[in-house]
Structure 1
Amino acid sequence: MKNQYHQDMLPLSNYLNTIYLFFRPLIKWFLHRFTNLCELQRLVYGAPDGYRRYKLVERSLYLSKRPQIKNLVYCLNEITSHCIPESLIDAEITTRAIDTILNVKKIKPKYHPGFSDAFGRCIDGIYTYKMLESYVEKLRLQQYSSENFEHEQKLLLLWNNLMPNIPLENRITKQWQQIGFQGDDPSTDFRGMGILALDNLLFFSSEYSGTARHILSHSQHPKYGYTLAVVGINITHMAWRLLKSGQAKSHFYNLSRTHGYLNIEHFHQFYCYLLYEFDSFWIKLKPNNLMEFNNVQERFEKSIVKSTEKENCLFKMNLSVENV
């Protein structure tokens, strides 16, 4: 019923958005005359720091008809698609954006001393999110190779993190099924999400080793167990979809407000939160068998998406693990 309500409201929402875009130039002109501030200034000064401000600034930049700003947006999109080093972000992204807007909008820092810093934080959040998207996609497209020494070492480290007291007998062995892979060779399970999935699992098992082993014990429950590694790969797919669709912007933009530049570690932390919460969700529901996995994951993802719709969304790990 609720989904039907949202579907029924979509035409109205699209209609109102069309009306807004039609009258937007007139609204901007009126507000500029009334406040003597350009749209970006009004957004930066009027919206709370974090997701809402970044989202509105991003929309304003993309809707701008000024050639210099359109060129700026194009250039920044090109730069961030190549994942430049963090040391160059200020010079290549933030400073370029601030200087362009100050020049085009004729904003004098002497009379608006807080604008540059506040606008710069918006740019940091918006464009390091885009860089994060690009880097995550590169990892996803990088396929696992048993001939790659680094890949093999990561896989062995994952085993050691989860099963520190049990040595791995062989590279190809049924032992891998103990930590939730489908067969004797885990490399075949990474096809869809590539090295991204392995890096996610390895980060979780390294940074939260005790919690990871506790969740592994949940997954080995005789009645309510599940295949941890395979589920972990599915959670990578979910995290990637939320990032790519922009639904995760509320979390990451709010994170950027306090952490500055976004990087791959922030995506790993997002993944850890999702995997940890999914385990709690699964244990709470106590499904009859693994055949219910798709239904449980769908319900879990809907709950996460609902949270991302809140402007103050910020996912944090809560490491109060319960006994099996």
Structure 2
Amino acid sequence: MATMRRRKQAKDDQLTESLLDDYDARDADDVAPEPHEPPHKAVPSAAAPSRHTALIVHPGEFNLQAFIQSVLAWWQRMFGACFGPIFSYATHLWPVPSREPQLSLLQAERLQQLRDKVAERFDIASPSHQDSLRRLWSLAFSGEPCTALKTPRWKDMGWQGDDPATDFRGAGLYGLDNLIYLAEVHPDTFRRLLDKSEGTRAAWEYPFAVAGLNLTWALSELLELHAPTGAAAAAAAAAANSNSDSSGPRPPRGAAGRAFLTLLSESEVAFEELYCAAYCLLDATWLEMRASYMEFNAVMKRVKGQVEKALASRPADMAQLRQRLLAGVPGAAVWD
């Protein structure tokens, strides 16, 4: 077995918390502003006042309910502040349609499954969670039995201390699942990233396992898989109340999250495959930037931006997304 690179001893404060920006703080910025009404032209004082008529045009075949919804939407813009109760009663009878995209049954099911996975915290007291840790151990240290869940040997896999349970933080159990997926489905890539066998490496390398947990967090945040909190939760609740006919998970609002829904329709392991490609991109970016341990945040920020850009270009499938992410990355052409 190849000798694994182990970063030199250093203070681990930089990786004990999430390496990403605050999720809730950006929620309000993601909402597109409502278009402004064009100002009315002032009527000259010398001219006789004219009557202003609002025309509501409904394209296509006339539909009574759609016409009434258009009237209500116009009424809300013009007089909502004065006649709020009347408008609320009217919209209860004739709800204004939501502008959010409609999810297919398959998309809704898989999106909810992903959000449930992201929400599950790692619990060292759980026997199944302990089994997952031992499973990752056997994949990383083939032929070497896992005799203890607390041992300095975990550091050789890129955990920060003797007890990997202290490193999970916001990534939860799904962060561990993604590392296992990488090892089982793409074993050569896993070994190359774990051993850091390519390129000129820094004296203080990024810790492999903890970096993987942070990558899970970054991608799930980008794709809006975390349950909203604070102001974001209030906005989501208000949207749900205004659209009482809707059921199932709320669609992502960002371009990257919406584009990901197409990939999710194609494959139930779309997130895991995105994770594996993004980890290859992370390592290549690390080498390109000649980064060291203290620059991990900058590397992660750049990787997250590249993933967002690639998804926003609306790739047709995972193969096309992988090509856009890893074009020019050494060794990426050979995908085990």
What residue number does 2:276 align with?
A: 272
Contact 1:219 1:226 (C-alpha < 8 Å) held by counterparts: no
What residue number does 1:242 align with?
A: 222
Deviations 1:144-180 (CA, angstroms, capped at 9, x unpaired): 2222221111111111112214443422101111111
What is the TM-score of this pair, normalised by structure 1?
0.58
3-state DSSP class of the match of 2:322? coil
Sequence identity (%): 23
Q: Which has the bigger relative contact order, CA under 8 A and spacing at least 6?
A: 2
Within-5 A mapping of 1:155-194: 155-194=133-172
Contact 1:174 1:184 (C-alpha < 8 Å) held by counterparts: yes
Contact 1:176 1:184 (C-alpha < 8 Å) held by counterparts: yes
Contact 1:201 1:232 (C-alpha < 8 Å) held by counterparts: yes
Alignment of 1:301 with 2:281, yes or no, is no
3-state DSSP class of the match of 1:170? coil
Contact 2:278 2:303 (C-alpha < 8 Å) held by counterparts: no
What residue number does 1:284 align with?
A: 288
3-state DSSP class of the match of 2:154? helix
RMSD: 3.8
User: Aligned partners of 1:230 and 1:205: how far apart in 2?
Assistant: 15
What residue number does 1:233 align with?
A: 213
Cα offset, 1:312, TM superposition: 3.6
Once the two structures are overlaid, the 10-residue window that deviates more, 228-237 or 244-253, is: 244-253
Once the two structures are overlaid, the 10-residue window that deviates more, 275-284 or 158-167, is: 158-167
User: Aligned partners of 2:55 and 2:161: how far apart in 1?
Assistant: 58
User: Aligned partners of 1:65 and 1:218: how far apart in 2?
Assistant: 60
What residue number does 2:125 align with?
A: 147
What is the TM-score of this pair, normalised by structure 2?
0.56
Amino acid at match of 2:280: Y
Flag the 1:253–1:222 CA change in 2: closer, same or farther, 3 A. Answer: closer
Flag the 1:296–1:128 CA change in 2: closer, same or farther, 3 A. Answer: same
User: Aligned partners of 2:297 and 2:312: how far apart in 1?
Assistant: 23
What residue number does 2:314 align with?
A: 311
Within-5 A mapping of 1:128-139: 128-139=106-117
User: Aligned partners of 2:126 and 2:219: how far apart in 1?
Assistant: 26
What residue number does 1:107 align with?
A: none
Unaligned runs of 5+ in 1: 1-9, 39-63, 78-121
User: Aligned partners of 1:282 and 1:137: how far apart in 2?
Assistant: 29
Larger radius of gyration, structure 1 or 2?
2
User: Aligned partners of 2:103 and 2:218: how far apart in 1?
Assistant: 26
2:263 aligns with one of 255, 261, 273:
255
Cα offset, 1:208, TM superposition: 0.8
